[in-house]
Chains A and B, each alone.
Chain A
Amino acid sequence: EAGVAQSPRYKIIEKRQSVAFWCNPISGHATLYWYQQILGQGPKLLIQFQNNGVVDDSQLPKDRFSAERLKGVDSTLKIQPAKLEDSAVYLCASSFRQGGYTFGSGTRLTVV
């Protein structure tokens, strides 16, 4: 079974620039999550999709972050404009059933 694919692996941008991350979940996984992991902290949920609908985006800073899941498969997470405090690893995960979460390797974002 192929894993959760994320790209790019690393990204360095200047503050106020925009950036986008891509995630391809495991085939058949209806639920997709984006987490933000700041250095030294545990991952924090940004947004959860069920198929192509949003289940929870209460922790997503909607003034600068946006996410979509086209046709209930791939997803993109965008930040515009980026701030220094957005420096983190952005993790994508997908699940099919209870406890069956699979995480991607993440995208490490550095905002300078």
Chain B
Amino acid sequence: GDSVTQMEGPVTLSEEAFLTINCTYTATGYPSLFWYVQYPGEGLQLLLKATKADDKGSNKGFEATYRKETTSFHLEKGSVQVSDSAVYFCALTLNDYKLSFGAGTTVTVRA
């Protein structure tokens, strides 16, 4: 079935470090791809999305590019802050159907 696999955590970084979280997908068609973030004690929030190949989603300094040739949607941020500490989920949907999530990657940024 359609699924996403994302880099296992936890990931611990120092402030201003570069962050990459890998995400690859398996889908029977052409999915839309998402990154969601869950801050401690809060609900899921959409971070960014891309709906077709070569699209780049960006928000709050985070970026991810939809790579059809490698079936990937890696999340990157050039300089993380303590406030970026959260759990990040990669997800996909086909035809506006259900969201299928990865297992999540816990990121901790130290001051």
The chain A residues found within 8 Å of chain B, CB to CB, are: 31, 33, 40-45, 48, 55-56, 91, 93, 95, 97-99, 101, 103-106
Contacts and interface: CB of A to CB of B under 8 A. Distances in A.
Given A104-B43, A105-B42, A42 B49 contact: no
B89 A42 contact: yes
Q: Which size bracket describes the interface of B in this complex?
A: 20 to 34
Contacts of A56: 97-98
B91 to A, nearest CB: 8
Interface in B90-111: 91, 93, 95-104
B43 A41 contact: no
Given A41-B104, A42-B103, A99 B43 contact: no
A42 B102 contact: yes
Given A43-B89, A48-B97, 4 more contacts: A33-B98, A44-B101, A45-B99, A101-B46
Contact of A98 (B51, B91, B100, B102): B51
B95 to A, nearest CB: 8
Interface of B: 32, 34, 36, 42-46, 49, 51, 89, 91, 93, 95-104
Nearest to A97: B96
Chief secondary structure at chain A's binding surface: strand
A56 B95 CA distance: 14
Nearest to B96: A98
B44 A103 contact: yes
29 contacts: A31-B96, A40-B104, A41-B103, A42-B91, A42-B101, A42-B102, A42-B104, A43-B44, A43-B89, A43-B101, A45-B98, A48-B97, A48-B98, A55-B97, A56-B98, A91-B43, A91-B44, A97-B96, A98-B32, A98-B51, A98-B95, A99-B34, A99-B49, A99-B51, A101-B99, A103-B36, A103-B44, A103-B45, A106-B43
